Amino acid sequence: MNVLVVGGAGYIGSHCVRQLAQAGHRPVVVDNMVYGHRAAVAPEIPLYDAQIGDESAMRAILESEKIEVVMHFAAYAYVGESVSDPLKYYFNNSVATYHLLRAMLDCGVKKFVFSSTCATYGDVEPPIVEETPQNPINPYGQTKLDVEHALRNIAPAHGLSFAAFRYFNAAGAAEDGSIGEDHNPETHLIPLVFDAATSKRENIQIFGTDYPTPDGTCLRDYVHVDDLSRAHIAVFEQLNQPGAALFYNLGTGTPTSVREVIAAVEQVTGMKVPTVEKPRRAGDPPALYADATKAKTELGWKVQYPTIGPIVETAWKWHKSHPNGYGS
Ligand code: UFG
């Protein structure tokens, strides 16, 4: 398949591009390079520096590259920033996506894979199934849910078939350590814990130790970025059904606490991680983990990294060789 990967120079997108190529597909990348990294995309893969909201630019690429499927990873994903600057998120994550969808339909491209998030659920009782009511507690989650709703309407009207994947906490890096996570600013737990272990920062702050969880810290479902990517390829067959509207949770189902993540980093690196206990971070639900039975049953999706240890091992391999990310 000729697959347009928008946001293909970002963290999850770049891992998916690599897997598409390995599976014999032909990925083409579009990225506006705000958060993307050129070095995350192999040089032989076409990379267009374009805005997904620019319909004429997107139509030109869709047509000249004979695109059959679009995978959409291009979004802002800082929950805190979405609260302080919601319009940035509404325009980039929702409005720009509607332009992309219109360009696709103009060109007769009717297969779409959308990166959604567990943040669409809000504060709910886990394990989370796809039918769990979605009540996002921040604008980031709302913008993703808005697109899900739009897709539900667009699919039957235009014969668009789509899959919306609700990711839990994406983590880890490619096995060979050549591509990985590089956000600026970095806010995610695992890379920050590495920085504390290697004295790049003084310590890791633990946000909240009084949650109603076994060790008092938040529980999350860390899912390997290559496991996420595999689901995107496994769904191709389902997209052959015009009008298919598919929603899947992608998580391991294993709840892992902040303290367990820190312990896994200490174990994998052999280094001590200095910690400081802090109050809860605004907007953090106590526990978010998936029931991903639907993806496993319908897509034959298999999680190759079900626990935090091996996920951290891959992330460490990347971090060790790229202490300053792609700028290393
Ligand atoms: N945490 C700390 N200290 C830190 C950073 C994080 O204790 O310095 C804690 C957080 O409070 C949370 C856990 O580590 O309990 C994970 O935090 P991350 O920031 O790594 O990830 P989030 O769960 O906040 O966010 C992720 C994605 C978002 C997505 C969200 C859905 O990054 O894009 O999951 O819940 F919206």
DSSP letters for 65-118: TT--EEEE------HHHHHH-HHHHIIIIIIHHHHHHHHHHHTT--EEEEEEEG
| pLDDT value of residue 282 | 84
**How confident is residue 222, by pLDDT bands cut at 50, 70 and 90?**
very high
Indicate if 308 and 244 belong to the same structural domain.
no
- Flag whether pLDDT at 283 surpasses 90: no
What is the span of the domain harbouring residue 310? 189-221+253-289+304-327
Q: What is the pTM (predicted TM-score) of this model?
A: 0.97
Residues with CB under 6 A from ligand 1: 77, 79, 117-119, 140, 169, 187-189, 192, 204-207, 218, 220, 258, 281, 284, 288
| pLDDT value of residue 328 | 82
In a domain, 67, yes or no: yes
The CATH code of the domain that includes 206 is 3.90.25.10
**How confident is residue 66, by pLDDT bands cut at 50, 70 and 90?**
very high
Indicate if 267 and 145 belong to the same structural domain.
no
Q: Is the separation of the CB atoms in 128 and 118 below 8 Å?
A: yes
Average pLDDT, the chain: 97
Tens of pLDDT, residues 141-165: 999 999 999 999 999 999 999 999 9
For a substitution probing ligand 1, which of 93, 124, 220, 257 has the most ligand atoms within 8 Å of its CB?
220
| pLDDT value of residue 23 | 97
Q: Is the separation of the CB atoms in 139 and 82 below 8 Å?
A: yes
CA 23 to chain CA centroid, Å, is 20
Indicate if 140 and 43 belong to the same structural domain.
yes
Indicate if 128 and 274 belong to the same structural domain.
no
Indicate if 241 and 150 belong to the same structural domain.
yes
Ranges of H-type helices in 235-273: 258-269
Average pLDDT over residues 176-201: 96
Q: How far is CA 197 from CA 60, 78, 81, 256, 266, in A?
A: 47, 24, 27, 19, 8
Indicate if 204 and 164 belong to the same structural domain.
no
In a domain, 110, yes or no: yes
Reply yes or no on whether 140 is catalytic.
yes
Indicate if 83 and 214 belong to the same structural domain.
no
Q: Give the Cα separation of 231 and 58 in Å (integer).
A: 25
**How confident is residue 35, by pLDDT bands cut at 50, 70 and 90?**
very high
Tell me the chain's radius of gyration from C-alpha atoms. 19
Q: Is the separation of the CB atoms in 16 and 232 below 8 Å?
A: yes
Indicate if 111 and 144 belong to the same structural domain.
yes
Q: Bridge partners of 26?
A: 2
Q: Which of 76, 140, 211, 305 does the annotation list as catalytic?
A: 140
In a domain, 183, yes or no: no
Total domains present in the chain: 2
Q: Give the Cα separation of 95 and 89 in Å (integer).
A: 9
Indicate if 50 and 109 belong to the same structural domain.
yes
Element (H, E) at 30: strand 26-31
The CATH code of the domain that includes 134 is 3.40.50.720
| pLDDT value of residue 40 | 98
Average pLDDT over residues 95-103: 98
| Number of other residues whose CB lies within 10 A of the CB of residue 282 | 11
Average pLDDT over residues 198-213: 97
Rounded-to-5 percentages of helix, strand, coil across the chain: 40, 20, 40
Indicate if 117 and 240 belong to the same structural domain.
yes
**How confident is residue 318, by pLDDT bands cut at 50, 70 and 90?**
very high
